[in-house]
Amino acid sequence: MKIAFIGLGNMGGGMAANLVKAGHDVRAFDLAPAALERARDNGCATFATVREAVQDVDAVVSMLPNGGIVKAVYQADVIDHAPTAALLLDCSTIDVGTAREVAQLAQDNGYAMADAPVSGGIAAANGGTLTFMVGGSDEIFNRAEPILSAMGKAVIHAGDNGAGQAAKICNNMLLGASMVATCETFKLAERLGLDLQTFYDISSKASGQCWSMTSYCPVPGVGPATPADNGYQGGFATALMLKDLKLAMAAAEAAGAPVPMGHRAEELYSAFDADGHGGIDFSAIIKTL
Ligand code: NAD
């Protein structure tokens, strides 16, 4: 297929490369010259504008920083410029309202569009092992699935437009809250004189078990290898966790849903980010406790 790829940053760069590996003809655009150069090295054709990249394609995939940018790019340069037969897939993490608004705009102009945000970080984007959560009709999901499969290990239909974003921010709100809970639990265990590896061995087989503990333990030297064992470098940046928690808080407010634990996690990550830790892994919040 001819696929336009817009936004070739940390995530999009590897995703576009995996589409090339799967045999697609990828037409790439990014505002950053370095991102375009990397895309060229990975076998993408590069273009000077979005409008040129989307001409004559079968699908458009975007991986952009936020909802405002997604809306602006689709409104100004994709809709009316890509063929109406092209399937539009936005994989960025954005707010549910904007995802629905852009999909409606696309639909009003004769396009099929889905939101398809991802779980998994830069390593999963490079390795083609992302999990996609797709919001769109059954028909759109069936068209999207083979394209997304080239970039991921799981492609799951979450529901209608916006449902992919809803699943993403709900999942990440739980992750943020469970990471803080895991961190404070290990700190309490330490104060109570427990050996932390021993506590891990017990709790990972007891009812406190959770992903933040057993797959992403914030304590160096305990559990599997994680960013904690690497000075909290790499992994999932605090600033990105905060972005997702803010999206979840806005969605909860709009939906009238009480989220006291999510709200507290957002406060704690806001303070950690404001103290200059936005670039390090989110499990480093254990240092504040
Ligand atoms: P990034 O900042 O590395 O990449 C974004 C890219 O978009 C940049 O190369 C930038 O130049 C480009 N861009 C910005 N405005 C543009 C425009 N108008 N036209 C074309 N290109 C434009 O960010 P990232 O880490 O790749 O994240 C992208 C998205 O994926 C975000 O929505 C993020 O929340 C989500 N996400 C990131 C991760 C992660 O671990 N990094 C994990 C899951 C989801």
pLDDT digits (tens, 9 = 90+) for 117-159: 999 888 899 999 999 999 999 999 999 999 999 999 999 999 9
Among 61, 18, 51, 16, residue whose Cα is nearest residue 36: 16
pLDDT digits (tens, 9 = 90+) for 209-248: 999 999 999 999 999 999 999 999 988 999 999 999 999 9
89 C-alpha to center of ligand 1: Å? 14
Q: Residue 129: which residues within 8 A CB-CB, separation 6 or more?
A: 120, 123, 152, 153
Work out which ligand 1 atom sits closest to the CA atom of 243. Answer: 34
pLDDT at 235: 85
Q: Of all protein residues, whose CA lies closest to atom 20 belonging to ligand 1?
A: 30
DSSP symbols for 40-89? HHTT-EE-SSHHHHHTT-SEEEE--S-HHHHHHHIIIIITTTS-TTSEEE
- For residues 159 and 154, what is the distance between their CA atoms, to the nearest angstrom? 15
Give helix 163-191 / helix 196-203 axis angle, nearest 10°.
130
Which domains does the chain possess?
Answer: 2-160 (3.40.50.720), 166-288 (1.10.1040.10)
Q: Which of 6, 8, 11 to mutate to test the pocket of ligand 1 (most atoms within 8 A of CB)?
A: 11
- Strand-pairing partners, residue 157, are 134
ipTM above 0.90, yes or no: yes
- Pocket, ligand 1, Cβ cutoff 6 A: 6-12, 29-32, 35, 63-65, 69, 73, 92-93, 118, 121-122, 236, 240, 243
19 C-alpha to center of ligand 1: Å? 17
Residue type, position 267, single letter: E
For the question of residue 287 being annotated catalytic, the response is no
